[in-house]
Chains A and B, each alone.
Chain A
Amino acid sequence: MNTINFFAIIKEMAERLYLGEFELVVMLVVIRLGEDAYGVPISREIEQQTGRAVAFGTVYATLERLQKKGFVSSHLGDATPERGGRAKRYFEVTPTGVRTVRETKQTFVRLWQGLRQLQGGIA
């Protein structure tokens, strides 16, 4: 892979995708959980899949950012007594969000290809 091509991909990422690492993790978890995607299971799934403890506030801040970008939408469920009368906020990835996740994956795959250090356990 030549250097010019590499920088072109990075530039394309910055211009079109706007997905940080944690944002991508959150998007994938929301897709994985489907209809059950609200704060508690999202945070638990991230912990399980990445092995990293995450603060609920960080997850909500990320989801809010993704919502502003139009990658995620949300709606409130019913309020329940065990939650102190607070409703659950359910999240789902929008078609734009799904497309962006796909494009991010393709970009990473292209970046991966041709890197000898990352092939066949050389590194």
Chain B
Amino acid sequence: MRTSHAITVWMFDRLDLDGALAGDLLEERARGRSAFWYWRQVVIAIRLVIWRALRDHKLLALRAIATGCATNYALVYLFERFMPHLPKLGPTASAKVWILGLSLILLIQSLTGWVVARTHPAQAVPMITAFAIWLIMLATIMLAKDAYLRMLLLDAIDQLPYLARYFAAVSIVLFAEIAGVYIGGTIGARSPSDLRRR
């Protein structure tokens, strides 16, 4: 319980959430509330504060998305320039290619998340979330335009195993991208209370 509470306090601190709320949740947990109840409350509190920050700072969110895209583009360009023979990920790629590819995705997105967090110090986590939402939207648009997926869907009778593999591959890549953004972003994010003290 202590570890999970320390994680909550750390997250609340990064999001500038009232420390008294973390204390209230721990008090209720000690009175017999379940772990599920506790984590549900934590998720709701975080969701509320992120949503409110995005609603109140729409222009900042757009700037965060632009910063993320520019950083992403620059990093991908650099990797492709200096490592031109990078293998492409896909449902038929080998495990070795997948490990290498996912590591690269994690690295690129972690660096991107870190840059977004550092360039938006007062609202780091909400702005990382704005960029993560953008990545999900982008992935959805690209999926809708993908000719290979269209072919699989049109010929769905025999292609179901391929379709499942395709969606699994896309989900893993997207998960790695989002995880990378949050890993780098939370490392780069500073506590708003620390920023105020400076």
Contacts and interface: CB of A to CB of B under 8 A. Distances in A.
A51 interface: no
Contacts of B91: none
Given A56-B41, A61-B52, A84 B20 contact: no
A86 B45 contact: no
Interface in A74-92: 76, 79-80, 82-89
A76 B23 CA distance: 12
Interface residues of A, number: 22
Given A56-B25, A61-B52, A86 B41 contact: no
Given A56-B45, A60-B45, A61-B52, A82 B21 contact: no
Interface in A48-82: 55-58, 60-61, 64, 76, 79-80, 82
Contact of B20 (A43, A58, A76): A76
B26 A84 contact: yes
B192 to A, nearest CB: 14
A46 to B, nearest CB: 13
Interface string B1-36: 010010001000000011111111111101000000
A88 B41 contact: no
Interface residues of B, number: 25
A55 B24 contact: no
B41 A82 contact: no
A39 to B, nearest CB: 4
Nearest to B12: A86
Given A39-B24, A55-B41, A56-B25, A86 B19 contact: yes
A60 B47 CA distance: 13
Interface in A85-120: 85-89
B78 interface: no
A58 B28 CA distance: 16
A41 to B, nearest CB: 10
A86 B44 contact: no
A40 B28 CA distance: 7
B19 A87 contact: yes
A80 B25 CA distance: 13
B48 A86 contact: no
A40 B24 contact: yes
Given A60-B21, A89-B18, A82 B44 contact: no
Contacts of B19: 86-87
Contacts of B26: 82-84, 86
B101 to A, nearest CB: 38
B133 to A, nearest CB: 20
By Cβ-Cβ distance, the 3 closest A-B pairs, closest first, are A86-B23, A57-B45, A83-B23
Interface of B: 2, 5, 9, 17-28, 30, 40-41, 44-49, 52
17 contacts: A38-B20, A39-B23, A40-B28, A43-B24, A55-B41, A56-B28, A58-B48, A60-B17, A60-B45, A61-B48, A61-B49, A80-B23, A82-B27, A84-B22, A86-B20, A86-B26, A88-B24
